[in-house]
Amino acid sequence: MKHRLFAVLLGVLTSPAAMAAGPHGDGGDAMFGGGPVSTLGGVLVLLSLLFATVGCGLGFVAGYRRDPQLYRLAQSAAYGFSGAMIAANFLMVYALVSHDFSVRYVAEVGSRATPLYFTIVSLWASLNGSILFWGGILGVYTAGITWHLGNSHREYAPWVLHVQLGIAIFFAFLVASIANPFAPVSPVPLDGPGPNPLLQNHWLMAVHPPMLYLGYVGMSVPFSMICASLLAGRLEAGWMAPVRRWMLIPWAFLSVGIVLGGWWSYAVLGWGGAWAWDPVENASFHPWLTGTAFVHSAMVLERRGRLRDWTLLLGMATFLLTLVGTFMTRSGVFNSVHSFTQSDIGPVFLVFIGITLTYSLLLLTFRAHKLDEAALLTDQRLGAKANKGMSLLSRETAILAQNGLFSAFTFTVLIGTLWPLIVEAVEGRRISVGEPYFDKWALPIGLAIVFMMGAGPMLPWGRQDADKVMKRAIGPAVFGLVVVGVFAGFGFTGPISLLTLFVVGFTFWSNANEIFEPARRRMASHKEGAGTALRKVLLRGRRRFGGHVAHYGVLMAVFALALSKGYRIEQDFPVEKGQTVQFQGFDVRFDGAEMRSDKDETGREYRTALVSTFELSKNGSSMGVREPRMNFYKTQREPIYTPDVYSRPWGDLYFSIISVPGDGNSAVLRLIWQPFQVWMWLCAPMIALGTLIALWPERRRQRSAAPSAEVTNAAPGGAK
């Protein structure tokens, strides 16, 4: 047995090693033979591959044989993989900062002229570095789940490690062979081109990708846990809880990452919009949609024991969609703002996707019946404890409807993104499917979903009388009308936005009810003051309260979207120096444009900028100076147009330069007024807060697998 393992390992190892030696004599692709950083990096990456492979195999055997010793070994291998990958990432950052151009990735994206901040960020600026970063985050999550599981959930844990490390094998393999960022370069160049200027333009580039990666990569954990369940042939309430939590953690990061991406698009790209239904944006949206659906259907699974297959399918689909999304971003098949150059990893990635998809399908198809048997047994022992009887006017229906709508939404966005490919394959035509199409469908489906977000909390589980429901609906409906009235009074009279505002108001009140109603009852029954009652209710029902807070985050985004898009006003102004133009009650005076030099912390200039200065005032009182600019980078002929935004809670005045001919005494300015835009960005901390509340462990319960420190530790950087 041990010999066989060894032989397999040898085989696995020699293949990338052979690739490492490289087909070219010049050592261009070789892993060894370069400088110390290259060599060490290569070793770390190979080590991570080794640990992943060994751990994967150990996990399988440990699960199959229920062998605790092998399980402990698998845990060590998991930590080994994590350690090696994380160390490799730190090593690469070191190489970037120390401008070690003998390392291939540094030669590709490093530059002495780039400020330190962006040098660190360039770890994920380009393809090979971003794959390494993917692996690093995978290492963090693998360590996290290994530690969290510890000695508990013994029936599942080895299987979790098996699947998790199986995924790790793939990424370690990618980094070790095709996408190797540590490969040595010779002769060593003196300087590099620097990362893509678009990535150096704004500090958000340091935050948006890591958040997205923490979301994307993290979906591997609930996936592994679901596969573990199918492999082990059991699924109990005690397992569903950690699966749910480990889905929520990356989900929160993904939500934040998506919103940050929107903010970046708005603040950096100069077109005044946050979401363009770009293929890569859509790729990040699919897993969010299925992940959200999962979180809700899991509630029905826990409560009623039903929708098991469906819930597991959603959970697995979330991870599978992140793989598809990563592929879409990197394969070069799609025309997108995020496109990396086409590379060899595309086909390999596609094979991996095919394998994982088939594996998941087979697991679900052939093992799901085992879960049914286990569940039936549990039912028999517990007796029918939950509510008997079902009404159509129940929370179950609302959640199912929500799931149905989310699935439709996912389907719409996915097929819409793939449609140009499909049509080209079938009919040879080239077409575009863009914003007008997606907006057209996102609106009704989105509205229906938001309505469900309000109707669901209002409905009870199981059975309810229709008139009781109607009574509970009065408050929200009235509040919705009030909101409509208020905004209509302020001039927002478009019918679609009024409908949206009604639904927003309805959902707002309904969710608020769910928070305050139990507190009120408690005040009556326990004779407590308002503050105490509220605190107790919130502390005891963290999951529910966190859910409501997250709902409010989504509401903010929908509110901002409806009003900023529906009432957006845009106008182009050719202006001369000293000239003032009027727009939406503001006075904007052009004060000329001049070239400025931007220097990094060592005093070296890394870009020049043509900055146009505008004095903003209203009714004679000055509101500051706005400076939209055109940033010129050495490596790019075309400048990047960076807007400047005057932001207030009730609206943004967006300054974007169209052109500045010649001498800087005239310019063409685009002004855009977008009401309530900032509320969209506030959605991110709200959702993060909601998730944090929902995940915060309860102190009193004897939980087998969640001491309080674990959750915060397992969520690196905290869900903020």
Partner 1 sequence: MSTSSGPKVRWPLLIVGLVVIGGMMALLGGSFGRQVKELSTEMEGKPYRNFTAVDFDGNEVALDAVLASGKPVVLNFWSTWCGPCKLEHDHFQRAAQLNPEVQFYGVLYQDKVPLAKRYLQQKGAAYPTLTDESGAIAITYGVGGVPETFFIDRSGTIIHKENGPMHMGMIAPLLEQLKASTP
Partner 2 sequence: MTALLLMIVTAFGAGTREYVPVDAETIERAEIPGVPPGPPPPASQVDAIAHDISDKLRCPVCQGLSVADSNASTAVNMANHVRALVAKGYTEEDIREFFITTYGEWIVLDPEPQGLDLLIWLGPGLAAGLGLAWAVGTVAQWRREPDDELPSERGDAPLDRYEQQLLAQLDAEIESDKGGH
Within residues 408-467, the interface with partner 1 by CB under 8 A covers: 418, 421-422, 424-425, 430
429 binds partner 2 (CB under 8 A): yes
As measured in angstroms, the least distance from the Cβ of 563 to partner 2 is 18
Question: Closer CB to partner 1, residue 424 or residue 698?
Answer: 424
- List for the chain the helix, strand, coil content (%; round to 5): 65, 10, 25
Q: Which stretch binds partner 2 (CB under 8 A): 11-19, 79-87, 332-340, 586-594?
A: 332-340
DSSP 550-612: HHHHHHHHHHHHHHHHHT-EEEEEEEETT-EEEETTEEEEEEEEEEEEEE-TTS-EEEEEEEE
365 binds partner 1 (CB under 8 A): yes
273 binds partner 2 (CB under 8 A): yes
441 binds partner 2 (CB under 8 A): yes
As measured in angstroms, the least distance from the Cβ of 346 to partner 1 is 6
658 binds partner 1 (CB under 8 A): no
Strand pairing partners for 667?
575
375 binds partner 1 (CB under 8 A): yes
368 binds partner 1 (CB under 8 A): yes
Q: Which of 717, 679, 603 is nearest to 115 (CA)?
A: 603
- Sequence length of the chain is 720
Would you state the torsion angle of the CA atoms of residues 701, 707, 708, 709, taken in this order, to the nearest 10 degrees?
180
As measured in angstroms, the least distance from the Cβ of 374 to partner 1 is 10
Question: Closer CB to partner 2, residue 461 or residue 583?
Answer: 461
DSSP 133-194: HHHHHHHHHHHHHHHHHTTS-TTTHHHHHHHHHHHHHHHHHHHHTTT-TT-B-SSPPS----
As measured in angstroms, the least distance from the Cβ of 161 to partner 2 is 21
The DSSP code for 274 is: S
Is residue 691 a contact partner of residue 249, using CB atoms and an 8 Å limit?
yes
378 binds partner 2 (CB under 8 A): yes
Binding mask 272-311 for partner 1 (x = CB under 8 A): --------------------------------xxx-xx--
Question: Closer CB to partner 1, residue 98 or residue 358?
Answer: 358
Q: Which of 707, 700, 706, 694 is nearest to 299 (CA)?
A: 694
Sign of CA dihedral 574, 576, 577, 578: negative
CA–CA separation, 250 and 141 (whole Å): 10
| 354 interface partner picked from partner 2, partner 1, none, CB below 5 to 8 A per type | partner 1
312: which 2 tokens?
């597991």
Question: Closer CB to partner 2, residue 82 or residue 403?
Answer: 403
As measured in angstroms, the least distance from the Cβ of 306 to partner 1 is 7
Which of 397, 584, 665, 713 is in the footprint of partner 2 by CB under 8 A? 397
Sorted by sequence, the CB contacts under 8 Å of residue 358 that are 6+ apart come out as none
The DSSP code for 340 is: P
Q: How far from chain centre, in Å, is Cα 68?
A: 35
CA–CA separation, 225 and 231 (whole Å): 10
As measured in angstroms, the least distance from the Cβ of 258 to partner 1 is 23
As measured in angstroms, the least distance from the Cβ of 369 to partner 1 is 5
CA–CA separation, 48 and 456 (whole Å): 46
Binding mask 225-264 for partner 2 (x = CB under 8 A): -----------xxxx-------------------------
As measured in angstroms, the least distance from the Cβ of 375 to partner 1 is 5
As measured in angstroms, the least distance from the Cβ of 33 to partner 1 is 32
What HEC string does 227-245 produce?
HHHHHHCCCCHHHHHHHHH
Question: Closer CB to partner 1, residue 237 or residue 478?
Answer: 237
Question: Closer CB to partner 1, residue 380 or residue 525?
Answer: 380
Could you give phi then psi for residue 596, rounded to 5 degrees?
-125, 160
As measured in angstroms, the least distance from the Cβ of 377 to partner 1 is 10
Strands 629-633, 640-642: pairing is antiparallel
Question: Closer CB to partner 2, residue 237 or residue 362?
Answer: 237
Is residue 716 a contact partner of residue 684, using CB atoms and an 8 Å limit?
no
CA–CA separation, 27 and 38 (whole Å): 12
Question: Closer CB to partner 2, residue 3 or residue 385?
Answer: 385
In the window 310-349, what residues touch partner 1 (CB under 8 A)? 324, 327, 331-335, 339, 342, 346-347
Sorted by sequence, the CB contacts under 8 Å of residue 93 that are 6+ apart come out as 120, 123
Is residue 579 a contact partner of residue 564, using CB atoms and an 8 Å limit?
no
Which of 69, 151, 358, 622 is in the footprint of partner 1 by CB under 8 A? 358
In the window 673-712, what residues touch partner 2 (CB under 8 A)? 704
CA distances from 317 to 35, 408, 581 (A): 42, 14, 52
Would you state the torsion angle of the CA atoms of residues 390, 392, 394, 397, taken in this order, to the nearest 10 degrees?
110
CA distances from 567 to 266, 497, 562 (A): 16, 9, 8
Q: Which stretch binds partner 1 (CB under 8 A): 203-211, 250-258, 358-366, 583-591?
A: 358-366
241 binds partner 1 (CB under 8 A): no
Question: Closer CB to partner 2, residue 48 or residue 394?
Answer: 394
As measured in angstroms, the least distance from the Cβ of 402 to partner 2 is 8
Q: How many residues bind partner 1 (CB under 8 A)?
A: 44
As measured in angstroms, the least distance from the Cβ of 292 to partner 2 is 14
As measured in angstroms, the least distance from the Cβ of 314 to partner 2 is 13
Which of 585, 638, 663, 700 is in the footprint of partner 2 by CB under 8 A? 638
CA–CA separation, 186 and 204 (whole Å): 34
Is residue 51 a contact partner of residue 84, using CB atoms and an 8 Å limit?
yes
As measured in angstroms, the least distance from the Cβ of 309 to partner 2 is 12
In the window 509-528, what residues touch partner 2 (CB under 8 A)? 517-518, 521, 525
Strand pairing partners for 629?
611, 642
Strands 640-642, 644-648: pairing is unpaired
In the window 290-309, what residues touch partner 2 (CB under 8 A)? 302-304, 306-307
238 binds partner 1 (CB under 8 A): no
Q: Which residues contact partner 1 by CB under 8 A? A: 304-306, 308-309, 324, 327, 331-335, 339, 342, 346-347, 350, 353-354, 357-358, 361-362, 364-366, 368-369, 372-373, 375-376, 379, 382, 384-386, 418, 421-422, 424-425, 430, 637
